Amino acid sequence: MNKTGRIMREHFHRVAGVYRGIRVTDPEPVEEIKRRVRVKNAKGMDLGCGTGRYSEKVIEALKPGLFICADLNQSMLFQARKFLRAGKYNQPSCLVSKERKLPFKSGSLDFITTFNAVHHFKVTRFLREAAQTLKPGGWLFIYTRTPRQNRNTIWGKFFPQFCTKEKRLWPLFKMRRQIKKTPGLKFVGAKQYVFGRATGWKELRKFAVKKSYSTFSLYGKKEFVAALRKFKQKLQMRFSDLNRLHYTAENILYLVRKT
């Protein structure tokens, strides 16, 4: 495991218990997924499920006959198990899995989802595994953010080095090209979203200090403190009232089908 991998493992172990309170869950991509998956009692999985925030939404929308929540981090999976069982869902299985080798038979799943996690994957291997695991006509949904979209966030605009630290995001053209190069996969389209957000400085500071984005864990301690101070200064220059900050967040949903 390389240095970034070790940092990410420690990051998700630390934030697992508070992750649901420091991240926003967007319903719009799940609504799009519901429109695409037309199979009754579909079999699917959410890879990189984290604490199961989006897994919950997918289960509610699709009511799958079989659903697997998979993540590499045991602490995040523990939270997912606890939450989903408390919600009395159709008891999805939670398992540890790498994106490079999915533990399913060939052609066994109707759909695979991954939300805000693909930048942690070895993407080319993940796409090959997805193509192998999906049934003909099955769907792969990748919800993520491009580097351009990252630059347009309030963090990308005002938090020092946020975009230069985050080098794992794939541009749209590169992801589309890689999907098209993967045998058995068809690039259907990409749906882009722009969300309006409104919050105050205290909330943003909490998100940063609690490391709501794993990018924050790539800063050294002193470096992060200095960046946070500069972030506030930049916001004060741009906004007249730090208690009422209005900005946008952007994401993209890749629609991919097994041929």
Per cent of the chain over pLDDT 90 is 85
Homologous superfamily of the 3-149+170-196+251-258 domain (CATH): Vaccinia Virus protein VP39 (3.40.50.150)
Q: Look at residue 202 and give its three-state secondary structure.
A: helix
Q: Look at residue 215 and give its three-state secondary structure.
A: helix
Report the distance separating Cα 250 and Cα 146, nearest Å. 9
For 154-199, how does the pLDDT look when each residue is reduced to its tens digit (9 = 90+)? 999 999 999 999 999 999 999 999 999 999 999 999 999 999 999 9
The pTM is what?
0.95
Cβ within 8 Å of residue 28, ≥6 positions away: 193, 195
Per cent of the chain over pLDDT 70 is 93
Q: Which residue has the higher pLDDT, 9 or 227?
A: 227
Q: Based on the number of CB atoms within 10 Å of its own CB, is 101 exposed (0-12), middle (13-18) or buried (19 or more)?
A: exposed
| Spans of all domains in the chain | 3-149+170-196+251-258
For 187-237, how does the pLDDT look when each residue is reduced to its tens digit (9 = 90+)? 999 999 999 999 999 999 999 999 999 999 999 999 999 999 999 999 999
Q: Which of 197, 172, 187 is nearest to 252 (CA)?
A: 172
Q: Look at residue 68 and give its three-state secondary structure.
A: strand
Q: Which of 174, 186, 197, 200 is nearest to 252 (CA)?
A: 174
pLDDT at 3: 84
**Above 70 in pLDDT, residue 88?**
no
**Above 90 in pLDDT, residue 39?**
yes
